[in-house]
């Protein structure tokens, strides 16, 4: 384990998605700093699932906004299904999305000792706008999973 809840949560989510045995997923499930596909080198292979940090941390709110308690922090993680446009694969990709979304609901990341008490999944567009991965024509379907950790007191 690292000393960062955000990275540990990304690694745990990767393990959960790997455990779903989604196929055919030629490029596998990869952790990336930024969602990326290099068309020049075809890496990672299409189709693949990218797991990366997303936006900013969610700090707890005493008014209960965003399902985060006052003394907690949420770490948004983008889970993006990426593939070449191919209508014959749409049903498969939508099935992957449903399975991932279903698995992220109330899941246990195995990080309870680090204070993780909940994961809040938020579906993004079923077919995401292209600016998420640049000006390439790719199929992208994304979900944000936000693991919530109690803040540790010194």
Domains of the chain: 5-150 (3.30.70.1700)
Angle between helix 5-19 and 90-104 (nearest 10) = 130
**pLDDT tens digits for the chain (154 residues)?**
456 899 999 999 999 999 999 988 999 999 998 887 776 676 778 899 999 999 888 887 655 555 666 678 889 999 999 988 888 999 999 999 999 999 998 788 988 888 888 898 999 988 766 555 555 678 889 999 999 888 765 5
Rounded to whole angstroms, how far apart are CA atoms 26 and 120? 28
Contact 74, 5 (CB under 8 A): no
CA 146 from centroid of its chain's CA atoms: 8
41 C-beta neighbours (distance < 10 Å), count? 7
Q: Which residue in the block uniquely carries the two structure tokens 């596998």?
A: 28
Tell me the residue ranges of DSSP E strands in the chain. Answer: 29-31, 48-53, 58-59, 72-74, 77-83, 116-123, 139-150
DSSP label at residue 70: T
- pTM score: 0.86
């Amino acid at each position: 384990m690292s000393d960062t809840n955000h990275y540990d949560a990304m690694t745990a989510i990767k393990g959960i998605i790997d455990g779903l045995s989604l196929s055919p997923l030629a490029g596998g499930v990869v952790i990336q700093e930024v969602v990326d596909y290099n068309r020049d080198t075809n890496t990672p292979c299409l189709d693949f699932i990218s797991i990366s940090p997303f936006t900013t941390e969610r700090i707890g709110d005493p008014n209960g906004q965003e399902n985060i308690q006052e003394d907690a922090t949420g770490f948004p993680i983008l889970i993006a299904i990426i593939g070449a446009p191919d209508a014959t694969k749409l049903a498969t990709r939508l099935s992957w999305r449903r399975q991932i979304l279903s698995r992220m609901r109330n899941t246990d990341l195995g990080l309870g000792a680090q204070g993780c008490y909940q994961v809040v999944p938020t579906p993004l567009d079923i077919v995401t706008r292209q600016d998420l991965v640049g000006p390439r024509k790719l199929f992208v379907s994304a979900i944000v999973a936000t693991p919530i950790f109690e803040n540790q007191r010194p």
